Amino acid sequence: MKTDKMSADILSLRLAGRNAPFELLGPENHLGPDDWAWQFLRLNHSYRQKYLDAKANHDPEDDRPEGTFQSRVKHPNRTIRVAELICRKQFGLSTWLDPQQPRLPKLGRGESWFFPLRYSTDSPECGSQQVANEGVFNYLDLSGPHSPFKAKANTDSQSAVWFAVDCSVPPTAQLASVVQVSKIYRDHLRKMATTLHPKTRSGSACVELAKCRWFDIEGFDVASAASEDVNSALLWRAIRVDVLGPIKAQLQSYQKLLMPAYQSFCDVGYANPPIRKRFRYELTGKLDDDGRYVTDGSFLKGMVICAQLAQHGLDDNDIVRFLCNGTNPGVKDKTDSSVRRDWDLSFSDRVIKYREEARAFVKGGYRWLVHAEKP
> What is the per-residue pLDDT for 258?
96
Name which residue leads in pLDDT, 134 or 339. Answer: 339
Mean pLDDT of 188-217: 77
- Look at phi and psi of residue 196 and say left if phi exceeds 0, alpha if psi is from -120 to 50, else beta: beta
Mean pLDDT of 134-142: 36
In 3D, which of 90, 116, 135, 105 has the Cα closest to residue 173? Answer: 116
How does residue 145 score in pLDDT terms, banded at 50, 70 and 90? very low
> What is the per-residue pLDDT for 200?
57
> What is the per-residue pLDDT for 162?
93
Give me the torsion for CA of 369, 370, 372, 375, rounded to 10°: 50
In 3D, which of 234, 238, 175 has the Cα closest to residue 212? Answer: 238
Give the highest mean pLDDT range of 47-56, 132-141, 152-161. Answer: 47-56
Residue 126 confidence (pLDDT) above 60:
yes
Quote the CA–CA distance of 342 and 347 in Å, as a whole number: 9
Q: How many Cβ atoms from other residues are within 10 Å of residue 255's Cβ?
A: 13
Question: 266-280, 300-314, 323-337: which has the minimum mean pLDDT?
Answer: 323-337
Share of the chain above pLDDT 70, in %: 71
Residue 28 confidence (pLDDT) above 70:
yes
Angle, CA 133 vertex, CA 31 and CA 72 arms, to 5°: 85
> What is the per-residue pLDDT for 173?
93
Structure confidence by residue, pLDDT tens digits, 12-25: 999 987 778 898 99
How does residue 289 score in pLDDT terms, banded at 50, 70 and 90? low
Name which residue leads in pLDDT, 206 or 7. Answer: 206
pTM of the full structure: 0.81
Residue 337 confidence (pLDDT) above 80:
no
Residue 26 confidence (pLDDT) above 60:
yes
What phi, psi does 105 have (nearest 5°)? -60, 150
* Identity at 360, one-letter amino acid code: A
Structure confidence by residue, pLDDT tens digits, 218-275: 777 666 565 667 777 789 999 999 998 999 999 999 999 999 999 999 898 888 776 6
- CA distance to 53, 308, 353, 365, per residue, from 359 (Å): 23, 10, 10, 9
